[in-house]
Amino acid sequence: MPDIDHCAEAVRLRALLTAIISGDGVQQARFGEDEVRYFQADKTELKQAIAYHEGLCSGKRRRFAARGKFRPY
């Protein structure tokens, strides 16, 4: 996914999470004979996606590898 703007994606997902939490999500909508259904999103996975995109946006490393040390005993 090299073409993704991670900062913009984090903002978009955060707005989506806010809409879900506030109850603005539409469950079902009808327009004449056409019907559209929206389903509840998984909030934990959405929060993980937000954290992923915010991490790539900031450019900071969050995890570091443990270094081995020489112990001559």
- Taking the domains of the chain in order of start, what are their residue ranges? 6-58
Do 53 and 13 form a contact (C-beta atoms < 8 A)?
A: yes
Summarised one tens digit per residue, pLDDT across range 41-72 is 778 888 998 998 888 888 776 667 777 777 77
As a whole number of Å, the end-to-end CA separation of the chain is 48
The reply to whether the predicted model has a pTM over 0.75 is no
Summarised one tens digit per residue, pLDDT across range 1-35 is 568 888 898 899 898 888 877 766 656 778 888 88
Look-up of token digits 């081995």 = 68
Residue 34's pLDDT is: 84
